[in-house]
Structure 1
């Protein structure tokens, strides 16, 4: 089973609870059901899936009772960033002695933490994606404004040049610059506010 399938398997809360119980010591079906408030049928179904995935194994104990336990240490790593989402599994080598038959290693492991961390990471990815979209929108808006200002500067310079070359009316300026008279009126209003031109009885002239 690959890491992605393993992550799907551990997405079930009851299977994570069963693993947390088995991480403390081997247990049998009825014992697991009593601890977790699950029916024997439900426990058996989850145990079969965990055993098929190679996460647990069963051994026959006293009174021919079947005990389930964790097979080997397993590490599941989730990497999440704006550019990457990977899930990896590894088998860290145990540094302690091998437990003997009937012994168990008491590990304080809460597998619910794994699902909680995954939920937090997925929420973080969503927040980052939203922030990225907002940033892209602001960049696009700024570029649009720069383009508009550049176009306005170009038209303003062209209108001023036409006036300097003798154009005195909006119609003359529009003909020389090659833009509609209504656009000329808008550019003239901007130039007048900036004190670049003056309106006189004999026409439009550049300010001195």
Structure 2
């Protein structure tokens, strides 16, 4: 779903409260109604919007009662500054993502997805935990000890990842501030008296590899005719140049 639509859906306080509740446990409509202090009908309407957006899903229990839970992981980001307004939604990257391929980011984590398995506990261990009457007390203690060790490892990993999340958030805030500062200085360098910041965005887009009016238009989210005029103006002022054969744009010099 489009980021703008998601933002509109999440702009409702009761829907945000529903998601907060469902992040703790799956719930029936009656539970949500009591938590919010609103009628079941209103809750059903909110849940329908959240289901349509793909944020919530429903299942039926043994008594044919419908309950709801959050269906997926999603991150919604909004950036607002005097030089930028943008929204984007992102889903979790693959667990096999090679972070070393990132040019500007490096992570130092002591734990990995295999940490629980290294303790000898995996998805099949639930069966091993069911000791029959012939099982010894030592076997039970050993199984419990492995489960405790695995839980301890996972709790440590969760804490480390939450700390990493806070540090990345701090880094994002720093980058956001630096971007606004550089955009301001770039606008001043292009024309200190101009309030039209599109020239700075177009110049940055070309610096980032957008070589045709279509690519630049897509990058800065501006109409192609406006972008073409902007490219010509920047070329006339000596900031850009166009290849005579390919007609692709590049920074001058």
Name the TM-score class by shorter chain.
0.3 to 0.5
TM-score (norm 2): 0.37
Structure (1 or 2) with the larger CA radius of gyration: 1
